[in-house]
Amino acid sequence: MPIINELIKAEGNKSISFGNYELTTKSKVDGYEMDGDIYKVKTFNEITKLEKNGLFVYESVPGTAVSGLRVTDSGMIFNVEGIEPTQITVELAPDTEYSVYIDDAKAGDMKTNLSGKLVISMELGNGAAADVRIEKL
In a domain, 3, yes or no: no
In a domain, 16, yes or no: yes
End-to-end alpha-carbon separation of the chain, Å? 30
In a domain, 30, yes or no: yes
Residues 115, 91 contacting (CB under 8 angstroms): yes
Instruction: Report pTM.
Output: 0.94
Domain of residue 118 covers: 8-136
In a domain, 20, yes or no: yes
In a domain, 43, yes or no: yes
Please determine, for residue 2, whether its predicted confidence score (pLDDT) is greater than 70.
no
Q: Please give the Cα distance from 57 to 88 (Å, whole number).
A: 11
In a domain, 33, yes or no: yes
Interval 107-126: pLDDT, tens: 999 999 999 999 999 999 88
Sheet holding 47-52, edge to edge: 27-34, 37-44, 47-52, 55-61, 86-91, 117-122
pLDDT score, position 13: 86
CATH number at residue 90: 2.60.220
As for how many domains the chain has, the answer is 1
Interval 91-112: pLDDT, tens: 999 999 999 999 999 999 999 9
In a domain, 24, yes or no: yes
In a domain, 2, yes or no: no
Interval 5-50: pLDDT, tens: 789 999 988 899 999 999 999 999 999 999 999 999 999 999 999 9
Q: In this structure, is the dihedral angle defined by the CA atoms of residues 93, 94, 98 and 101, taken in order, positive or negative?
A: positive
